[in-house]
Amino acid sequence: MLDAIVSVCRLRKLYGATVALDEVSFEARRGEVFALLGPNGSGKTSTLEVLEGLRRADGGSLSIDGIDPACQPRKLWSRIGVQLQTSALPSAMTVDETMRFFCTYHGVRTRHDLIERLGLSEKASTPYAQLSAGQQRRLALAVALANEPAVVFLDEPTAGLDVQSRADLHALVGELKARGATVVLATHDMAEAEKLADRVAILLRGRVAAIGSPRQLTVAARRKTRISVATENGRLADRRPELPAAAFEGVTDGYVSYLCSSVATTVSAIVAWLERDGDRLVDLRVERPGLEECFLEITADHPVEGGAA
């Protein structure tokens, strides 16, 4: 891949006898949002912490913007922004002081614009300990972006955020991408990954189980499209006719569900059946398999027995 800015090749990480990461390989391109998905203990945070220079790898090679995290951590930290999953800032430090403090260490002007962008202006004089969990996460994110990083690592960035803050963060990730930054995020949230990520790696038990764009992953999934139909007289629910390229799934709240491999064929068959039977269509919903279904399918194929942090 020509424009890879994050390159991970056969990464291995051990905690004592426990293999946390085993031959993990992926690349994130410049200006791309790359998501690491996986259940608890699959190795997402371990992967990020090795990339961030916080832990040493036990094997494999890593490169972030041409820097080996183990060899040049100081150079790395000047180029990346990191929002850790578990971290804190000094409890007595106000929002303004925090920004000034870290900007000074990064050698950049104090980024009041980030405080404003992340909705913390009114809390500028509030100590960290008195901020809500969501405000603390936003302040950590502001600090992560203070040095205009080329690569931003976000570990569960929306954990503890309310709906509005989540939407703001998603917009901010979009802005980072627009200015050419690469965002590598670890998340449990499938909808978030599907919405934000250009490409996704699914980690299971310290291994990459699948990698690709959300669309590529969902297309590759075996799951079928669900068609749910409500009719005026409910005859479809009573008769449950056999339809071409579809299998009856069940009836819920008056909706009859079929799992089908060809949406067009099944919908045509349903409409034709209703016309013949003298019933009328009230509602028809088509639910294509999403990343979550794909994820569940992959995890079902690789049952998790234990794993890493």
Partner 1 sequence: MKSFWVHLAYDSRSALRDSGRLLLFHLFPLAFFGLCGGFMATANPYFRQAMLPGMVLFAVMSATLLAAPSALVQARENGVFRSFRVNGVPSVSILSIPVIGTALHVALAATVISVAGAWLFGGRVPASMAGFAAAALLSYATHAGVGVLIGVVADRDSSAILAAQFVFVPSILLGGMMVPERILSAVVQRVALLLPATHCMRAFAWLGGMGDGPAPWSSLTVLGSSTVLSFALAGALFEWDARANRPSRRRYAAILATVPYAVAALIGA
Q: Which residues bind partner 1 (CB under 8 A)?
A: 52-55, 74, 77-78, 80, 82, 84, 86-93, 97, 100-102, 104-107, 127, 140, 143, 146
Both structure tokens of 195 = 């919405």
CB of 145 to partner 1, least distance (A): 11
247 near 258, Cβ under 8 Å?
yes
Closest CB to partner 1 among residues 183, 190: 183
Q: CA 183, CA 185: separation in Å to the nearest integer?
A: 6
Return the number of other C-beta atoms located less than 10 Å from residue 146's C-beta.
23
CB of 106 to partner 1, least distance (A): 6
Q: CA 110, CA 154: separation in Å to the nearest integer?
A: 22
Closest CB to partner 1 among residues 46, 165: 46
Whole-angstrom CA distances from 225 to 11, 215, 254, 257 are 36, 14, 19, 10
183 near 30, Cβ under 8 Å?
no
CB of 134 to partner 1, least distance (A): 17
CB of 107 to partner 1, least distance (A): 8
Closest CB to partner 1 among residues 54, 245: 54
Query: 246-252 and 4-15: which strand pairing?
Result: unpaired
CB of 309 to partner 1, least distance (A): 8
Strands (E), the chain: 4-15, 18-29, 33-37, 59-64, 80-83, 151-155, 182-187, 199-204, 207-212, 225-231, 246-252, 255-260, 281-287
Residue 214 CB contacts under 8 Å (≥ 6 apart), including other chains:
193, 194, 197, 200, 291
Closest CB to partner 1 among residues 137, 199: 137
245 near 265, Cβ under 8 Å?
yes
Closest CB to partner 1 among residues 82, 269: 82
Task: Give the max Cα distance, the chain.
Answer: 76
Closest CB to partner 1 among residues 102, 258: 102
CB of 291 to partner 1, least distance (A): 29
CB of 24 to partner 1, least distance (A): 19
Closest CB to partner 1 among residues 92, 282: 92
